[in-house]
C-alpha cells in the first residue's frame, strides 16, 4: 500500500503539472481526491492491515493527500493568473483616448425670452411679482372692472373649479393683489410673469395653457407718454434699434384709454409683405392707463394716483423674434427643435 500511495502521488503531481486549464485541473482533483478517487480506493483496504500498520498507512495517506492538495492550489493560482493576464491583454483599454463628450442641455427658449424681459424691466426699477394660478373670481375678474355677467368675460373663457375658483386667465390678478397690499400708497412698479389658462382649441397660434408677462406702474403724475416711452424701450431691446412702434386705440375693461401696440415688420421694414399681411405692422401686445375703478377698488385715490399697465405673451415674442411658426413647438419637447436655440 505504501508503494501504491507513492505511485498515486507521483502520478497526481505529474498530471497537475501538465494541466493546461482549470477544467483539466478539476478533473485531476476529482480523479485523485474525490469520493471515488484513487486515495479513497487505497484506504478501503486498510481493514486488512494489522493494528500496527494502520496508523502508518493512514499518516502516509494524509501526507499524500495534503501534498496533492497543495500542488492543486498552487496550479490553480497559476492558471487564474495566466487567465487574468490573457484577459487584460485581449481587453486592454487605451487610456490615452479622449473621453466621449457629454451632451449638455440648455434653458428652454421661452425661459430665455422671459428672463430677457425680466432683466430689462428689473433694470428699469420694476420688481418681479408672482401669484397663485388657481385664482378667485374676484381677483381674476371683479377687481379688474369685470363684474359678473360682463360681456368682456367671454373673451377669457376659462376652466372653472367651482363657481368662485378658476384657473387664472391672465396674470392681472397679481397686479390687483399687489395694489391691495400697498393700501393706497404708491409707487407700485411690478412685472408679473407666469402661466395662464383659457379654454382655447390648440392650433398653430392658440394654446389652452401659455405664459404671460404683465406690467404695472402706479404713482403720481403717470402719463400716457410714460407708457409709450416704456414700450418703445422694450421693442428696441427685444427686436432691434431700428424697430418703430405705433399705438392703436382699443378696449380693455381694466384700462382707459386702452391701446394695442404694433411693431414695424422686420421683413419689409414697413413696406408691406405676407408676414405683416401687407400692413407693414405686427401686433405685439395690449396696454393702457389703469382704469380709475381698478385703482379705487384697490384702495387708491384715482384723483391723486394714475398708472399704466401692459400685457404680452412670451410665446408670441419668441415666435416673432426667432421665426417660430407654431406655438405647439414650445410644448412638445422635440429636442430637434429645442437644440436650435441653445445659447440664444
Bind-site residues for Mg(2+): 256
| Alpha carbon distance 226, 215 (integer Å) | 13
Binding residues: 256
- Which residues sit opposite 245 in a β-bridge? 263
Q: What separation in angstroms does the CA of 287 have from each of 136, 237, 281, 291?
A: 23, 18, 17, 11
Are the beta carbons of 322 and 341 closer than 8 angstroms? yes
| Alpha carbon distance 119, 124 (integer Å) | 9
| Burial zone of 136 (CB within 10 Å; 0-12 exposed, 13-18 middle, 19+ buried) | middle
Closest to 181 measured CA to CA, from 292, 298, 305, 310: 298
Are the beta carbons of 75 and 16 closer than 8 angstroms? yes
| Alpha carbon distance 24, 211 (integer Å) | 74
What grid cell was written down for 213? 408677462
- The DSSP 8-state label assigned to residue 98 in this structure reads P
Q: What separation in angstroms does the CA of 61 have from each of 5, 25, 67, 188?
A: 7, 21, 10, 102
| Alpha carbon distance 342, 289 (integer Å) | 38
Amino acid at each position: 500500500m505504501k508503494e501504491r500511495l507513492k505511485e498515486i502521488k507521483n502520478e497526481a503531481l505529474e498530471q497537475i503539472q501538465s494541466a493546461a486549464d482549470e477544467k483539466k485541473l478539476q478533473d485531476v482533483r476529482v480523479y485523485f481526491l474525490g469520493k471515488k478517487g484513487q486515495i479513497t480506493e487505497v484506504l478501503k483496504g486498510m481493514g486488512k492491515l494489522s493494528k500496527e500498520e494502520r496508523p502508518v498507512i493512514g499518516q502516509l495517506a494524509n501526507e499524500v493527500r495534503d501534498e496533492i492538495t497543495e500542488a492543486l492550489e498552487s496550479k490553480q493560482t497559476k492558471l487564474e493568473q495566466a487567465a487574468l493576464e490573457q484577459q487584460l491583454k485581449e481587453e486592454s483599454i487605451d487610456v490615452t483616448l479622449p473621453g466621449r463628450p457629454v451632451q449638455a442641455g440648455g434653458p428652454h427658449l421661452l425661459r430665455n425670452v422671459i428672463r430677457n424681459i425680466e432683466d430689462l424691466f428689473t433694470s428699469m426699477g420694476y420688481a418681479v411679482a408672482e401669484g397663485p394660478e388657481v385664482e378667485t373670481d374676484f381677483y381674476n375678474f371683479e377687481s379688474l372692472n369685470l363684474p359678473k355677467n360682463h360681456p368682456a368675460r367671454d373673451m377669457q373663457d376659462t376652466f372653472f373649479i367651482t363657481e368662485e375658483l378658476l384657473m387664472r386667465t391672465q396674470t392681472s390678478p397679481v397686479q390687483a393683489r399687489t395694489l391691495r397690499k400697498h393700501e393706497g400708497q404708491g409707487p407700485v412698479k411690478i412685472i408679473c410673469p407666469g402661466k395662464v389658462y383659457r379654454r382655447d382649441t390648440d392650433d398653430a397660434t392658440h394654446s389652452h395653457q401659455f405664459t404671460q408677462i404683465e406690467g404695472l406702474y402706479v404713482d403720481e403724475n403717470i402719463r400716457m407718454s410714460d407708457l409709450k416711452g416704456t414700450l418703445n424701450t422694450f421693442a428696441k431691446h427685444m427686436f432691434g434699434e431700428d424697430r418703430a412702434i405705433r399705438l392703436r386705440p382699443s378696449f380693455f375693461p381694466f384700462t382707459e384709454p386702452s391701446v394695442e401696440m404694433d411693431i414695424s415688420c422686420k421683413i419689409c421694414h414697413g413696406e408691406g409683405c405676407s408676414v405683416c399681411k401687407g400692413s407693414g405692422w405686427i401686433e405685439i401686445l395690449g396696454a393702457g392707463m389703469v382704469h380709475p375703478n381698478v385703482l379705487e377698488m384697490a384702495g387708491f385715490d384715482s384723483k391723486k394716483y394714475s398708472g399704466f399697465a401692459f400685457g404680452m405673451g412670451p410665446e408670441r415674442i419668441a415666435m416673432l423674434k426667432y421665426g417660430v411658426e407654431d406655438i405647439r413647438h414650445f410644448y412638445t419637447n422635440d429636442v430637434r427643435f429645442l437644440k436650435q436655440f441653445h445659447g440664444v
